[in-house]
Structure 1
Amino acid sequence: MNQRQTVPTHTPYYGSSKLFTIGLKPLDPDRWIEVDDHLLPYLAEKRRLYAEIPERVFVEEDGTRDAQREVLDLLAEHLPTHFPQTHRRTSNGIEVVGADGNSDSGIGAGEFGDAPLVAASLLVQEDLVIMRRDESGWRLVAGSLCFPSSWSLIEKFGRPLQEIHAPVPGFGPGTRPAELINRMFDGLQGQAVERYNWSIQSGNALYHPLSDVQRIDRATNRPSRFPDGDINAHAFIRVERQTLRKLPTSRDILFTIRIHLDPLRVLAGHHDRAALAVSFAAQLKTLDLAQLDYKGMTSDRDRLVAVLNHMASDA
């Protein structure tokens, strides 16, 4: 789908959010959700995915509907207050101005019934994941994930955090980062937090899944994502803005993921493009082989760095 051609909204690769770090920061509740000019295209893409591959983009365990309803209620309270131009209250609840399906769900009721998390997901550009604590840790018990960043919702469904993060270099079971993340989840109370993650992909697809098997194959064979060598034409920066907040009644944790996609070439229009490109390149150069394999950049890192260095020198 078409994405912005202007200056990026978030630039965590400037050095504010380094890869393979936890990097959680307090979040102003007023900034919980982001809405921009791509709201309607994002929601249309979600509806397409629900219609074509519903089993890959929505999962739920029995007993999670009350927590799902909490998410929907929180959004119904937050959105019309902070975004009255795009979200309004109606006799039926809340609707997005100009969106298809406001008067009818438009999604197969046979697939989802009346899952509140699906309704919630069609109000925002964010993906929505619910984590629940039990004896095995914090598990993924429900989720609407239409825009995965190289992972599979089906594979992670029902699994605890330490297993979900097992493929991430340095974050596997028994590592200090894995233990810290569990403690942070346990300690999360009224204060919401946010973090950023980022990567490079070829093309502008929002739906960008990857199974663990595909990840292993990619790390073994290390193919280039840009076989024609034209990084400027095909490279997109994928930024994930992630938030965590504890639901007030269920005490489950809601994990939101907002995807921003920007062509790499738009950095040339940034007011501080030289420093930005230098910092971006420097971060890429610090990644070790395991990290490059995980991000799928092993074969392309040097070419990406060269493009960024050229951008900096032209500033």
Structure 2
Amino acid sequence: MTHLPIHTPYDGSSKLFQIGLKPLDLRNWIEIDETFDFQLAEKRRIYAEHPDDVFVAEQGTEEAQAEVLALLSEHLPARFPERYRREGDRLIVIGHPELEGLDARKLPSLHKASLLVQEDLIVMRRGEEGWRLAAGSLCFPSSWLLTEKFGKPMSTIHEPVPGFGPGTRNAGLIDRMFDKLQVGQPVERFNWSIQAGDALYHPLSNAGRIDRATGRPIRFPDVEAAARAFIRVERQTLRKLPVSGDILFTIRIHLDPIALLKGRPDRAVLAASFAGQLMALDAEQLDYKGLTADRDRLVEALEGMAGLSRQERR
């Protein structure tokens, strides 16, 4: 991976454990970068290997799923003609012959839609208990399991997140924001975490990160190992569907080696801000992010990247 990070919410612009919704220009609803071909192929592989883990849908969501597919089929060739084109009623994904005839396959519409883009797609529906996860395709989970969250309201989904569980102020704010979301006024937010490798399919909890080769928990034994870690950035969007009234939640994963920050002209400021955010996390937040054992080594690596001397460090 040779590109510079596209999104750097760890610069302080999107603080962890805050809602941080911002207006989104619909032209920028979906993102495409140089990992497009790899990530679409990876989705097909994950669907083949974990079909029961990465797709769920309630009965009665078929029309909403079709609505998502229709919106994407309209948006993609107009926004990215170099990647998509229409041939009659068919949408062609250029360079992906495996997707030929996708429209005719007997798959749920949300499944089809998920194979067209790098984003994961979640449909939220309003019920008596609030907004619940009614359907979803999640090939690139960030330390959570789709099947465990299926059918549950937002407050229960967020129960493990410090300050966001049932009865908290943030849980109430999220429900109200979902209720007030208007068609044509989508929003976006960012989240980020640290992981040892570059796996997109990451369903394990952060606290239980396991090295598949050794079967042991992954830890960064020294500063050099911490400097080889990956930053997992989630770009999330919320868009109210005009027909069903459901909300489409998209999650786009960017995986960037921490070492890539060295190539940025603003690396000193960025690395110092990143380190400061890690130092600001409390014990409960560190535990949730799986960083209790590794935070200090990560901070030391970032401060070294920022060019801080030992005297300038904490």
Equivalent positions of 1:124-273 (< 5 A) are 124-190=117-183, 191-210=185-204, 215=207, 225-227=219-221, 230-232=224-226, 234-273=228-267
Amino acid at match of 2:129: S
Residue in structure 1 matched with residue 98 of structure 2 by the alignment: 101
Residue in structure 2 matched with residue 45 of structure 1 by the alignment: 42
Residue in structure 2 matched with residue 32 of structure 1 by the alignment: 29
Query: Secondary structure of the equivalent of 1:302?
Result: helix
Amino acid at match of 1:182: D
Judged with a 3 Å threshold, the aligned counterparts in structure 2 of structure 1 residues 79 and 179 are, in CA distance, closer, same or farther, namely same
Bigger drift between 223-232 and 263-272 goes to 223-232
Amino acid at match of 1:286: A
Separation in structure 2 between the aligned mates of residue 188 and residue 290 of structure 1, nearest angstrom: 31
Could you tell me whether the CA contact under 8 Å between 1:201 and 1:225 is conserved in 2? Answer: no
Amino acid at match of 1:207: Y
Judged with a 3 Å threshold, the aligned counterparts in structure 2 of structure 1 residues 100 and 48 are, in CA distance, closer, same or farther, namely farther
Could you tell me whether the CA contact under 8 Å between 2:189 and 2:237 is conserved in 1? Answer: yes
Residue in structure 2 matched with residue 9 of structure 1 by the alignment: 6
Separation in structure 2 between the aligned mates of residue 155 and residue 72 of structure 1, nearest angstrom: 25
Over the residues paired in the alignment, what is the CA RMSD in angstroms? Answer: 2.1
Separation in structure 2 between the aligned mates of residue 188 and residue 132 of structure 1, nearest angstrom: 13
Amino acid at match of 1:310: G
TM-score with structure 1 setting the length: 0.91
Judged with a 3 Å threshold, the aligned counterparts in structure 2 of structure 1 residues 292 and 314 are, in CA distance, closer, same or farther, namely closer
Could you tell me whether the CA contact under 8 Å between 1:197 and 1:240 is conserved in 2? Answer: yes
Gaps of 5+ in 2: 210-216, 310-314
Could you tell me whether the CA contact under 8 Å between 2:220 and 2:226 is conserved in 1? Answer: no
1:135-172: CA deviation from partner (whole Å, max 9, x where unpaired): 01101010000001011101000000000000000101
Residue in structure 1 matched with residue 214 of structure 2 by the alignment: none
Give how far 1:114 is off.
2.1
1:23-62: CA deviation from partner (whole Å, max 9, x where unpaired): 0000011110001111111010000011111000000110
Give how far 1:232 is off.
5.0
Amino acid at match of 1:301: R
Query: Secondary structure of the equivalent of 1:69?
Result: helix
Amino acid at match of 1:146: C
Alignment partner of 1:308 out of 298, 302, 310: 302
